């Protein structure tokens, strides 16, 4: 029997390219796993009328962790019965922390010595998807609770204490004192009790500018759902872009690991997507389930190939998904 059971969900678009590539890398690294293949996403919805079938819930619940590709959410329309697959899974399994590390990798144009983590609250805010329209007026609810704010604040503080002991709470409590204020003050109430933690606060618009001007000032940043979604793409842009940015959705019981990028319909099916983000999501997954040596081995192999090439097009190279994947596999052998 394999030591680990892993659920694999390709999802949509380039998920069909980066997940198989990642699996081959895991195999080449000698990861002792049995895979349960599951489906989710917009393509599945169009064929079956639901984005996440029961078999996928079973697979997520009966494995040690899930590796997810990407899922499309069509813009500006909400087909009857559709829910965004990954947002649904985050909610259903209480995966309240979306952990998005941003670390300098050896790629052209990357800021040097960046090493920060964005911790995004993953279940609330505007992403509760409660929207209504009254004639020409549209309204969206944002939901912030004290419990969820405390939970994510504790998570971020714990993470910061394992790192450089610096936490920045990013917020917009100046304009939204009730919702953002609850988030901010609840977290500050907690961090006051954490000895040795250096906590600061920053308004989100300034945080966006500071990330671009001087990302090295940050260690761990915590923020509500939509701010985390946006600033983590911005942070990815500092160190090489979405082709290399990975994330983990973690809760008390389950973990779903995925790239920060989406289904990339503009390049899907062409064999040119960069699988690095997905491979590094697998590295986060391995660390999460305790296979830390293997995680380091794969991380090192990726860094070697990023340094020596071949590189994919998003990083200025000419390699396709296959050539890059083969190069990582060759490093592992």
Binding site residues, ligand NAI, CB under 6 A: 14, 18, 70-73, 86, 242-243, 258, 261-267, 273-274, 277, 314
With CB under 5 to 8 Å by kind, the binding choice for 247 among ligand NAI, Mg ion, none is none
Cβ density class 118-147: b for 16+ within 10 Å, e for less: bbbbbbbbbbbeeeeeeeeeeeeebebeee
Other CB atoms closer than 10 Å to residue 305's CB: what's the count?
23
Q: Is the CB of 118 or the CB of 152 nearer to Mg ion?
A: 118
Per CB under 5 A, 121 contacts Mg ion: no
Instruction: Provide the minimum distance between the beta carbon of 234 and ligand NAI in the complex, in angstroms, as a whole number.
Output: 13
Query: Is residue 54 within a helix (H) or strand (E), and if so which, with residue range?
Result: helix 54-61
Q: Is the CB of 259 or the CB of 325 nearer to Mg ion?
A: 259
Q: Is the CB of 168 or the CB of 273 nearer to ligand NAI?
A: 273
Instruction: Provide the minimum distance between the beta carbon of 68 and Mg ion in the complex, in angstroms, as a whole number.
Output: 13
Q: What angle do CA 178, 184, 188 make, to 5 degrees?
A: 135
Number of H helices, E strands in the chain: 11, 12
Q: Is the CB of 176 or the CB of 226 nearer to Mg ion?
A: 226
Query: Which residue's Cβ has the minimum distance to ligand NAI?
Result: 262
Is residue 111 annotated as a catalytic residue, yes or no?
A: no
- The Cα 173–Cα 179 span in angstroms is 7
8 Å CB contact between 188 and 242: no
Q: What angle do CA 206, 123, 48 make, to 5 degrees?
A: 125
Q: How many residues bind Mg ion (CB under 5 A)?
A: 1
Q: Which two tokens stand for residue 116?
A: 């920060």
With CB under 5 to 8 Å by kind, the binding choice for 72 among Mg ion, ligand NAI, none is ligand NAI
With CB under 5 to 8 Å by kind, the binding choice for 314 among ligand NAI, Mg ion, none is ligand NAI
206-245 footprint of Mg ion as x/- string (CB under 5 A) = -----------------------x----------------
DSSP assignment of 87-116 equals HHHHHHTT--EEEEEEE--S-TTPPTT-EE
Residues annotated as part of the active site: 127, 172, 205, 229, 233
Question: Residue numbers of the site for Mg ion (CB under 5 A)?
Answer: 229
């Amino acid at each position: 029997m394999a030591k680990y059971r892993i659920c694999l969900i390709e999802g949509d678009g380039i998920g069909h390219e980066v997940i198989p590539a990642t699996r081959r890398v895991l195999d080449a690294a000698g990861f002792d796993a049995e895979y349960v293949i599951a489906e989710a996403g917009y393509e599945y919805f169009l064929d079956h009328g639901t984005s996440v079938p029961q078999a996928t819930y079973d697979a997520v619940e009966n494995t040690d962790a899930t590796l997810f590709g990407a899922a499309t959410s069509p813009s500006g329309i909400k087909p009857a019965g559709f829910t965004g697959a990954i947002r649904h899974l985050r909610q259903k399994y209480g995966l309240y922390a979306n952990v998005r590390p941003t670390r300098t990798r050896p790629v052209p144009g990357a800021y040097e010595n960046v090493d920060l983590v964005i911790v995004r609250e993953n279940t609330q805010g505007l992403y509760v998807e409660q929207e209504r329209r009254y004639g020409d007026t549209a309204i969206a609810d944002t939901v912030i609770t004290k419990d969820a704010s405390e939970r994510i604040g504790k998570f971020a503080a714990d993470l910061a204490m394992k790192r450089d002991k610096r936490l920045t709470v990013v917020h917009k409590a100046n304009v939204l004192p009730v919702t953002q204020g609850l988030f901010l003050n609840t977290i500050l109430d907690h961090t006051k009790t954490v000895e040795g933690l250096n906590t600061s606060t920053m308004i989100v618009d300034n945080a966006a500018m500071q990330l671009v001007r001087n990302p090295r000032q940050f260690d761990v940043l915590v923020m509500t759902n939509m701010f985390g979604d946006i600033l983590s793409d911005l942070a990815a842009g500092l160190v090489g872009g979405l082709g290399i940015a990975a994330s983990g959705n973690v809760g008390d019981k389950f973990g779903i690991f995925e790239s920060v990028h989406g289904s990339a319909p503009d390049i899907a099916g062409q064999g040119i997507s960069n699988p690095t983000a997905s491979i590094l999501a697998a590295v986060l997954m391995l660390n999460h389930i305790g296979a830390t040596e293997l995680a380091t081995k794969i991380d090192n192999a990726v860094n070697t190939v990023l340094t020596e090439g071949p590189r994919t097009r998003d990083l200025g190279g000419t390699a396709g998904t296959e050539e890059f994947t083969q190069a990582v596999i060759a490093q592992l052998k």
